[in-house]
Chains A and B, each alone.
Chain A
């Protein structure tokens, strides 16, 4: 199926530092998402992005989080500054349409904040 690529697969960072997670969505997709998963548990919605704007964000999407997709390149999640509780696997996803299509996920970036 369609592939969403995430870079890097693992990232270890010191608490308080900035981290940027990169996502290359499926080429013709228009809607982009970030999800957070801790210890293989529930997939928790963070944010979705369309047409250069955040459409919806959850309470997990703290002020320290930001997303962007400059000039149609990578869709990024930036955390600045990082906190210990940000340690999780972050999944990027994309879909062609708003509701009537499947959402495809990347393999995730495992972020460890130490």
Chain B
């Protein structure tokens, strides 16, 4: 069964610094897709970035990038030059290729607070 674990409950950083959020996953599937979402204070869930398991290159979108370490089943999210508005809950999630439903399994989330 697929499982996603985010061990950091909360992180607090100063504005304009770099933060890394951890995520490890468990899957029996050889092909899978990893996602990071952000839930804002209003509750909205926003897709940020994805990594396909067969791709060796780490994904980058704007000031978000991923640290994909496949042997460790790890997919960390890196936010550079953090801004106050990056304060939110960040969820790691996974979809398995072998599923016949496309279900997205989430971690418990990490609360990020960016301070001025």
Name A residues whose Cβ lies closer than 8 Å to a Cβ of B. Answer: 1, 31, 33, 40-45, 48, 50, 55-56, 89, 91, 93, 95, 97-100, 102-105, 107-108, 110
Contacts and interface: CB of A to CB of B under 8 A. Distances in A.
Interface residues of B, number: 30
5 contacts: A40-B89, A99-B96, A103-B35, A105-B45, A108-B45
Dominant secondary structure of chain B at its interface with chain A: strand
A45 B103 contact: yes
Contacts of B107: 42
B68 interface: no
Contacts of B97: 99-100
B45 A95 contact: no
Interface of B: 32-33, 35, 37, 39, 42-47, 50, 52, 89, 91, 93, 95-97, 99-109
Contacts, number: 75
A98 B42 contact: no
B43 A102 contact: no
Contacts of A100: 33, 52, 97
Dominant secondary structure of chain A at its interface with chain B: strand
A26 B36 CA distance: 20
A28 to B, nearest CB: 15
